[in-house]
Homo-oligomer: A and B are copies of this chain.
């Protein structure tokens, strides 16, 4: 219901505010320790507002996760559009992902949490499979061209994603900036490792 409600501009703003505040609090405090009351108090609205815009607390987190993974994928797609060489596309994707990761450390934390409960893990599996599959395709192409060594492309893609998330989150400088050395380290770890 709340899902399909037609929102006015002000409505959409409120919803976004709740979404943003909840994301921050969930990441800071943990999902369960953060109550719906905390959220609405923080935004300064009544408790009913929350349920006007969202079906439930669970559904809110699912939406945060789904949106985030969709956003990541869009970002990656845009980043690799310019290059044509698979290896260059791979590198561009990695760089974009790290930046995204550093700019969304809250989300990374939430994703980490999400894997710990089956209902959220379902959402994540769907979303992550897409992202990993995209990368795996590039790897396959690079393998076909002899650019990188053979091996299970999905496994490699998975490892790459792990490095990106970990470093992106751990070495974010705040306000979305990234330590450039970290980006180079990540790229190097991934690509030199892949090269034949």
**A interface list, Cβ under 8 A from B:** 27-33, 109-110, 112-113, 115-118, 149, 151-152, 155-156, 158-159, 161-163, 165-167, 170-171, 181-182, 185-186, 188-195
Q: Which of B28, B116, B118, B188 contacts A193 (CB 8 A)?
A: B188
Q: Is the Cβ of B158 less than 8 Å from the Cβ of A167?
A: yes
Please indicate the chain B residues that have their CB under 8 angstroms from the CB of A194 in the complex: 189, 192
* Minimal Cβ-Cβ distance residue in B for A181: B152
A113-B113, A162-B163, A162-B165 are contacts. A189–B185 as well, Cβ < 8 Å?
no
Q: When chains A and B are docked, how far (Å) is the Cα of A171 from the Cα of B154?
A: 11
* Minimal Cβ-Cβ distance residue in B for A165: B162
Interface of A is mostly: helix
Please indicate the chain B residues that have their CB under 8 angstroms from the CB of A32 in the complex: 32
Chain A to chain B contacts (Cβ below 8 Å), 21 pairs: A27-B116, A31-B116, A112-B112, A112-B113, A113-B113, A149-B188, A151-B185, A152-B181, A152-B185, A155-B167, A155-B171, A155-B181, A156-B189, A158-B167, A159-B163, A161-B166, A162-B167, A188-B193, A189-B190, A192-B192, A193-B193
Q: When chains A and B are docked, how far (Å) is the Cα of A162 from the Cα of B169?
A: 12
